[in-house]
Amino acid sequence: MTGVGAGGERARLEPFDAVDVIRTKRDGGRLSDAQVDWVVDAYTRGAVADEQMSALLMAILLRGMEPAELTRWTRAMIASGERMDLSGVGRPTADKHSTGGVGDKITLPLAPLVAACGVAVPQLSGRGLGYTGGTLDKLESIPGWRAQLSGPEFFGQLRDVGAVICAAGQSLAPADRKLYALRDVTGTVESVPLIASSIMSKKIAEGAGVLVLDVKVGTGAFMKQPAAGRELAEAMVGLGEAHGVRTVALLTGMDIPLGRTAGNALEVAEAVEVLAGGGPPDVVELTLALAREMLAASGVSDVDPAGALADGRAMDAWHKMIAAQGGDPDAPLPTAAETHVVPAPATGTLARLDAYQVGVAAWRLGAGRARKEDPVSAAAGVVLHAKPGDRVTAGAPLLELHADDPSRFDRALAALDGAVEIADTPVEPTPLLLGRVP
């Protein structure tokens, strides 16, 4: 039905009133399927105002959502755009999503590794904001590599190479883009239902048959406590399964940075070390754990991904993937004009190295951005010469700061104040793998 709006324009007669929907959730009620479908669609097309949706988001944060209600909310977000059909790829498809952390370069070796084992990986990734790095920012440190692909380029590369890491198009879950921007400025980011629906609407719309989630827990993660991480993991696994996507989640530690680098080109170099059969043990451990989950859920249980790292197949897939997107996998990576060494303050065992503080330091050195439109430095970042559990000597290099501009060092050093603890006795590092859902 239509009606006549202000100025004589013909306006759509809406089936619900936004205030009634807000009141329902404010008072602890469950939104009906029809209410959910309408409010997500109406906000996406501008029929519900920002201030009204802000009130509804706050009510959801305070009152929560029932599982069926959250499933419907996520379905409505997916329906706001297109859902990709990957049935023509010719092999199983599996995607991976990390909730973000410091030094988290796992997507880089993981996608070509899984592709080398026979499962196609359509990885639509994002950019960094704040202290957490973005996969696209890392890859753009490779000369010539481009994040934007057309639809035919995306599908052709997925069929021919088996792995794509690129920017998501505007057609996937456009409701999420509007809602995410609003949550960011209204104090409603922390809601587990809203986090879960935001992540899963985009991932389900990508069309992969399998999704493996890496839910980070710790100081450098969004979810600081294991219980909160498990709650989020359970919500996302439930949403994936409800929408026909085989979904598994690993809970992994993020109290310390992953690997020995935090920064764009620095992390690419570390990922290449892993593909060459080396690299830091924790990066190798997590890459293989996620790869095994992706392969098993895809029905490919007779291939050991460790073998594909050892015999060079994963490296071959990396070279093809980078070259297919215009990058030169053999070109030298950018290096920083300036470095500053942070020495160990005492002799003993490194007991703590705070991931969040290292991430903020890398951000202040130029590796991250405060606003989405800010540029990032490809070469900036932090190199870790020791990890918790390692023996260190007073005065020996502990951290190395990389920047294009030496004026950035003071603020980075301030961010690291109190980030390090040295113990007199041996310290057992905390485990990387903390749990699995289901």
Q: Are 317 and 202 contained in the same domain?
A: yes
Which residue type, as a one-letter code, is found at position 25? K
176 assigned to active site: yes
| pLDDT tens digits for range 74-119 | 999 999 999 999 999 999 999 999 999 999 999 999 999 999 999 9
Q: How far apart are the first and last CA of the chain?
A: 46
Q: Are 111 and 253 contained in the same domain?
A: yes
Q: Are 196 and 123 contained in the same domain?
A: yes
| pLDDT tens digits for range 153-202 | 999 999 999 999 999 888 999 999 999 999 989 999 999 999 999 999 99
Q: Are 293 and 356 contained in the same domain?
A: no
DSSP sequence for 113-167: HHHHTT-BEEEEE---BTTB--HHHHHTTSTT--S---HHHHHHHHHHTSEEEEE
Domain presence at residue 183:
no
- Other CB atoms within a 10 A radius of the CB of residue 91 amount to 15
Q: Which domain holds residue 271?
A: 87-172+190-324
Which residue type, as a one-letter code, is found at position 236? M
CA atoms of 89 and 294, how far apart (whole Å): 17
- Average pLDDT value for the chain: 95
| pLDDT tens digits for range 246-299 | 999 999 999 999 999 999 999 999 999 999 999 999 999 999 999 999 999 999
432 φ/ψ angles, rounded to the nearest 5 degrees: -80, -45
Domain presence at residue 81:
no
Q: Are 310 and 407 contained in the same domain?
A: no
Q: Among residues 96, 97, 203, 260, which one is catalytic?
A: 97
Q: Are 146 and 292 contained in the same domain?
A: yes
Q: Which of 295, 324, 353 is the last residue of a domain?
A: 324
Q: Which of 324, 347, 381 is the last residue of a domain?
A: 324
Q: Are 281 and 220 contained in the same domain?
A: yes
150 assigned to active site: no
Residue 299: which region, alpha, beta or left (left: phi > 0; alpha: psi -120 to 50)?
A: left
385 assigned to active site: no
Which residue type, as a one-letter code, is found at position 379? A
| pLDDT tens digits for range 206-246 | 999 999 999 999 999 999 999 999 999 999 999 999 999 99
Q: Are 227 and 296 contained in the same domain?
A: yes
pLDDT classification of 133: cutoffs 50, 70, 90: confident
CA atoms of 254 and 97, how far apart (whole Å): 15
Q: Among residues 127, 183, 203, 260, which one is catalytic?
A: 183
408 φ/ψ angles, rounded to the nearest 5 degrees: -80, -15
Domain presence at residue 437:
no
Return the structure tokens found at 163.
């792995």
167 φ/ψ angles, rounded to the nearest 5 degrees: -75, 145
Q: Residue 390 above 80 pLDDT?
A: yes
Q: Domain containing 223 — which CATH number?
A: 3.40.1030.10
202 assigned to active site: yes
Q: Are 49 and 95 contained in the same domain?
A: no
Domain presence at residue 46:
yes
Q: Are 416 and 306 contained in the same domain?
A: no
Q: What's the structural domain count of the chain? A: 3
Domain presence at residue 96:
yes
116 φ/ψ angles, rounded to the nearest 5 degrees: -65, -20
Return the structure tokens found at 304.
């050991």
Q: What is the pLDDT of residue 11?
A: 58
Q: Are 214 and 306 contained in the same domain?
A: yes
Domain presence at residue 305:
yes
| pLDDT tens digits for range 29-82 | 999 999 999 999 999 999 999 999 999 999 999 999 999 999 999 999 999 999
- Taking residues 9-36, report their average pLDDT: 90
CA atoms of 170 and 364, how far apart (whole Å): 30
Q: Domain containing 408 — which CATH number?
A: 3.90.1170.30
DSSP sequence for 188-256: -TT-HHHHHHHHHHHHHHTT-SEEEEEEEESTTSSB-SHHHHHHHHHHHHHHHHHTT-EEEEEEEE-SS
97 assigned to active site: yes
**If 0-12 CB within 10 Å is exposed, 13-18 middle and 19+ buried, where does residue 224 land?**
middle
Q: Among residues 176, 255, 282, 354, which one is catalytic?
A: 176
CA atoms of 364 and 393, how far apart (whole Å): 27
Q: Among residues 96, 178, 202, 230, which one is catalytic?
A: 202
Return the structure tokens found at 241.
């399964």
CA 374 distance to own-chain centroid: 19
Q: Residue 141 above 70 pLDDT?
A: yes
What three-state secondary structure class fits 319? helix
Q: Are 142 and 227 contained in the same domain?
A: yes
Q: What is the pLDDT of residue 12?
A: 72
Domain presence at residue 68:
no
For Cα atoms 382, 386, 391, give the angle at the middle one, nearest 5 degrees: 160
Strands across the sheet containing 397-403: 261-263, 381-384, 397-403, 338-343
pLDDT classification of 3: cutoffs 50, 70, 90: very low
Q: Which of 15, 30, 63 is the last residue of a domain?
A: 63
CA atoms of 178 and 211, how far apart (whole Å): 24
Asked if residue 123 lies in contact with residue 107, where contact means CB atoms within 8 angstroms, the answer is yes
pTM score, two decimals?
Answer: 0.94
Domain presence at residue 361:
yes
Q: What is the pLDDT of residue 184?
A: 87
